[in-house]
């Protein structure tokens, strides 16, 4: 993975010093809360219901084992011994004191980490496929480009006060595991007619109050023009984006209002002016960065052991069938480490688990860990012959639930239990659903069925793109859960459709169970829920839930 050189390191250290000074000026009263808030947000510090929450950046979801150990130390020293992984590949600590935040940033800087721009109206963490660099279906590894975007977007002086937050995602495979269709800018790697590297560029996707699928702005962007093109898009957005209404300030609103043709005209006109500037990527710098993502020195191993253990141990076989991803290197697998124990808090990990996993990463996966969008972790380079030992170790840590993309692999935001923006709780719903549906999944093999639960319209859990989405609102002082069906964040991206009136906190679990049970009656063969839904529509589910039709 990318190793900081002295320049990268200097920046994060200086940023930590700057923040310490800003906190000092807040505490002394020199800065009011209104003046301080944009500054602390740009270092990832939120004020939530019970305490401050710190969102630490994990650029494109990639961590070294030492960095995971640093996060564990922070969890122990400054929080309550755990952290929460997010849908944008970052980590959050829920119980932070403002007074400790400068020390935390110093410790993060020591580990080559930071919380820069994880909040605020600026360019956020650029995310990618958790299987980048190892996926068998990959055209090209997007991570070097994610690192190039990271550097360009960090403390960009022109784009630090945008109309609203800005999120970029990049994938390297025709199968989209980075949800690029619902990002402000989505980039997909491809090869041009003579094999040259380039990007297909989308703009204007997003979730929240007005979910929208992105539109293609350019079919082929040569790789070395990446930064100049991004700069052109951001400049048009910074100048033209609405600033009069918080709910209409994302770029998706601008693209929708202008129409993609007019938006493209503006961007391409700006781009023509800056394409030949120093933003054009230098081959030497691209090579330098690419070299840092070279694959590890994979060993050629005999995988006879893997086959034998699968026959011998049915629990192992089940986990292997569900939590492994096809690897481009023969005899290897990318392992999903589940942070979704049945009845657990989705995406949470204790400091003990973090430290143990760091050791396992060193032992089994060249010291590298990835954060997945569904709030799990990935060990990307595991030889098949070692999978059984790894599984045993993960199982003893409670990290081996065999449920990747299954109905108990629920994505949930912290919700009203923690978050100041929330309108309903999400975690207790996730926990109860997990327990209720685990048994149905065991009996019926539901296959891939994603449930995403957001505790408010800001949709941090991406409920719009869950196969089943749940949105927690407040109605007449009570929690009311709205259900959407048919969302997808993959290359067949779709926004889920609301199925009908909302359900109370005591009704929602039964409602989801009704949906699953109804589906099982109508399922053909072993098709996925999403495929059945596309075949039969929402009506059977509406009828079962509300007794209509």
Partner 1 sequence: MQLIDYSNARPAVESDVWTHVDDDAPLPAGGPATVSLERWQASRDELAGRNQPLGVRLDSHERIDDIVADLPRFDLIALNFPNLNDGRHFSTARLLRERHGYGGRLRATGQVLRDQLDPMRRCGFDEFDIAPGKDAASALPAFDQISVTYQPAADARLTAAQLRRRLPESVDVAD
Partner 2 sequence: MAQIVITGNRLHDGAVVWREPDGTWSHDIANAAIYPSEAQLADGLDAGRLEEAEGRIIGVYEVELDAGESRVAPVRLRERIRADGPTVSVG
Indicate the residue among 109 and 410 with the shorter CB distance to partner 1. 109
Per-residue binder mask for partner 2 (CB under 8 A), 435-464, x = binder: ------------------------------
CA distances from residue 363 to 66, 135, 382, 392, 480 in whole angstroms, order as listed = 13, 21, 9, 13, 46
| Stretch 190-229: interaction string toward partner 1, x if CB under 8 A | -------------------------------------x--
Indicate the length of the chain as a whole number: 549
Which residues in the 282-341 window bind partner 1 by CB under 8 A?
282, 284-285, 288
Closest of 547, 525, 546 to residue 535, by C-alpha: 525
Q: Which of 231, 417, 486, 511 binds partner 2 (CB under 8 A)?
A: 417
SS3 62: strand
DSSP 193-244: TTS-EEEEEEE--B-TTS-B--EEEEEEEEGGGHHHHHHHHHHHHHHHS--S
Distance, CA of 142 to CA of 146 (rounded, Å): 6
Quote the CA–CA distance of 141 and 132 in Å, as a whole number.
Answer: 6
Distances (CA, A) of 133 to 7, 146, 158, 332, 407: 25, 12, 32, 13, 27
DSSP state of 47: E
Task: Pick what 225 binds: partner 1, partner 2, none; C-beta below 5 to 8 Å, kind-dependent.
Answer: none
Residues 101-120 that bind partner 1 (CB under 8 A): 112
Tokens at 235, concatenated: 């400049």
Residue 374 binds to partner 2 (criterion: CB under 8 A)? no
Measured from the CB atom, the residue of 204 and 414 that comes closer to partner 2 is 414
Q: Does 357 bind partner 2 (CB under 8 A)?
A: no
Q: Are the C-beta atoms of residues 45 and 54 closer than 8 Å to each other?
A: yes
**Which one of partner 1, partner 2, none is in contact with 52 (Cβ closer than 5 to 8 A by kind)?**
partner 2
Decide: helix, strand or coil at residue 85.
strand
Closest CB 512 distance from partner 1, rounded Å: 39
Between 122 and 349, CB nearer to partner 1: 122
Closest residue by Cα to residue 441 from 317, 346, 499, 528: 528
Quick note: the x/- pattern for partner 2 over 468-507, rule CB under 8 A, is ------x--xxx----------------------------
Among 345, 360, 509, 516, binds partner 2 (CB under 8 A): 345
Q: Among 28, 29, 34, 521, which residue interacts with partner 1 (rule: CB under 8 A)?
A: 34
**Hunting for tokens 């026959």 — which residue is that?**
311
Backbone Cα Rg of the chain: 23
The entry of partner 1, partner 2, none near residue 417 (CB within 5 to 8 angstroms by kind) is partner 2
Give the C-alpha distances (Å, rounded to integers) separating 379 from 310, 319, 356, 370.
20, 14, 13, 7
195 vs 477, beta carbon nearer partner 2: 477
Q: Which helix (H) or strand (E) holds 14?
A: helix 6-27
> Would you count residue 427 as binding partner 2 (CB under 8 A)?
yes
CA 430 to chain centre: 18
In this structure, are residues 407 and 446 in contact, taking their beta carbons and an 8 Å threshold?
yes
**Binding window for partner 2 (CB under 8 A); candidates: 145-153, 217-225, 358-366, 412-420:** 412-420
Q: Is 535 in the site for partner 2 (CB under 8 A)?
A: no
Contact code string over 230-269 relative to partner 1, x by CB under 8 A:
-----x--xx---x--------------------------
Q: Which of 296, 313, 418, 306 is nearest to 361 (CA)?
A: 296
Q: By C-beta, is 91 or 134 nearer to partner 2? A: 91
Site string for partner 1, 151-190 (x = CB under 8 A): xx-xxxxxxxxx----------------------------
The answer to the question of residue 105 lying near partner 2 (CB under 8 A) is no
| Binding site residues, partner 1, CB under 8 A | 3-11, 14-15, 17-18, 21-22, 34-35, 38-39, 112, 121, 151-152, 154-162, 227, 235, 238-239, 243, 273, 277-279, 282, 284-285, 288
| Binding site residues, partner 2, CB under 8 A | 26-29, 32-33, 47-52, 80-82, 94-99, 345, 348, 350, 416-418, 422, 425, 427-428, 431, 474, 477-479
């Amino acid at each position: 993975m990318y190793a900081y050189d002295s320049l990268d390191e200097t920046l994060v250290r200086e940023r930590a010093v700057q923040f310490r000074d800003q906190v000092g000026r807040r505490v002394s009263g020199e800065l009011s809360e209104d003046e301080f808030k944009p500054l602390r947000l740009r270092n990832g510090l939120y004020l939530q219901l019970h305490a401050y929450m710190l969102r630490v950046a994990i650029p494109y979801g990639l961590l070294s084992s030492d960095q995971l150990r640093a996060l564990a130390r922070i969890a122990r020293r400054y929080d309550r011994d755990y952290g929460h992984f997010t849908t944008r590949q970052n980590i959050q600590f829920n119980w932070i004191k403002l007074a400790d935040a400068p020390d935390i940033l110093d410790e993060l800087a020591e580990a080559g980490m930071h919380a820069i721009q994880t909040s605020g109206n600026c360019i956020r963490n650029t995310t990618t496929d958790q299987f980048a660099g190892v996926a068998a279906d990959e055209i090209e590894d997007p991570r070097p480009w994610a690192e190039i975007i990271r550097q360009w977007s960090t403390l960009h002086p022109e784009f630090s006060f945008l109309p609203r937050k800005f999120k970029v995602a990049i994938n390297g495979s025709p199968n989209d595991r980075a949800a690029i269709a619902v990002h402000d800018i989505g980039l997909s790697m491809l090869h041009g007619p003579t094999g040259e590297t380039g990007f297909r560029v989308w703009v204007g996707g997003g979730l929240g109050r007005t979910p929208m699928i992105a539109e293609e702005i350019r079919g082929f962007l040569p790789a070395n023009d990446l930064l100049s093109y991004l700069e052109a898009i951001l400049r048009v957005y910074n100048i033209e984006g609405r600033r009069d209404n918080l709910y209409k300030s994302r770029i998706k609103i601008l693209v929708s209002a202008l129409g993609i043709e007019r938006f493209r005209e503006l961007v391409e006109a700006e781009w023509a002016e800056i394409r030949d500037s120093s933003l054009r990527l230098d081959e030497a710098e691209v090579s330098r960065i690419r070299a840092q993502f070279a694959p590890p020195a994979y060993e050629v191993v005999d995988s006879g052991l893997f086959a034998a253990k699968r026959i011998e141990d049915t629990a192992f076989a089940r986990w292997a069938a569900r939590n492994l991803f096809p690897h481009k290197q023969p005899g290897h697998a990318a392992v999903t480490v589940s942070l979704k124990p049945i009845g657990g808090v989705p995406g949470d990990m204790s400091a003990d688990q973090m430290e143990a996993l760091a050791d396992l990463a060193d032992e089994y996966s060249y010291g590298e860990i990835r954060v997945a969008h569904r709030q799990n972790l990935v060990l990307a380079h595991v030889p098949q012959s070692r999978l059984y030992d790894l599984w045993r170790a993960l199982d003893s840590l409670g990290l081996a639930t065999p449920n990747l993309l299954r109905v108990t692999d629920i994505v949930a935001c912290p919700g009203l239990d923690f978050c100041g923006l929330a309108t309903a709780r999400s975690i207790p719903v996730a926990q109860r659903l997990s327990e209720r549906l685990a048994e149905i999944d065991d009996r019926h093999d539901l296959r891939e069925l994603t449930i995403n639960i957001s505790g408010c319209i800001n949709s941090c859990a991406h409920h719009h793109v869950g196969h089943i989405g749940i949105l927690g609102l407040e109605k007449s002082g009570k929690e009311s859960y709205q259900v959407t069906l048919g969302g997808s964040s993959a290359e067949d991206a779709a926004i889920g459709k609301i199925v009908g009136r909302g359900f109370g906190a005591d009704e929602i679990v039964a409602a989801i169970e009704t949906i699953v049970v109804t589906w099982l009656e109508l399922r053909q063969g072993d098709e996925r829920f999403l495929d059945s839904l596309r075949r039969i529509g929402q009506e059977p589910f509406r009828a079962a839930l509300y007794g209509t039709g």
